[in-house]
Amino acid sequence: MRDHTKLRAFALADEVAVLVYRITRMFPKDEIYGLTSQMRRAAVSVSSNIVEGCARESQTEYLRFLEIAFGSLRELHYQYGLAQRLGYADEFAVTECELKMLEAEKVLGALMRSMRSKKPKNLQPTA
């Protein structure tokens, strides 16, 4: 079992989740069941899937949960851009959260690439 608290990817995902909750507090009340809810669920999904992946025994399962976390992060990135275009987020919050999401994507992507390169050659798909 891996310790998720030692992963930079988890720390960044956790920071993004906290930022998203703070930012979405300012969204219009009629978005509570719409974009606010979607963004919060996606943000929590990123760190939650990293944690769940760390609890898995096999490397393959671990990687799969990291891939799901990455997908949730990309989903959140789109939703954040949409909220920005709709004028729901202030400029300071936009910049801080945008930078944190980009860093999280890079770190999580690098972790997944590293894990893929460690797979035994006979388990890697052929091109």
pLDDT in tens, 65-95: 999 999 999 999 999 999 989 999 877 667 8
Per-residue pLDDT of the chain (127 residues; tens, 9 = 90+): 789 999 999 999 999 999 999 999 999 999 999 999 999 999 999 999 999 999 999 999 999 999 999 999 999 999 999 998 999 987 766 788 889 999 999 999 999 999 889 766 555 555 5
Establish how many alpha carbons lie within 13 A of residue 97's alpha carbon, considering only the half-sphere containing its beta carbon. 26
Give the predicted TM-score (pTM) of the model: 0.87
3, 40 Cβ separation under 8 angstroms = no
Cβ partners under 8 Å of residue 66, min gap 6: 9, 49, 50, 53, 108, 111, 112, 115
| Domains observed in the chain | 4-123 (1.20.1440.60)
How many whole angstroms separate alpha carbon 22 and alpha carbon 97?
Answer: 10
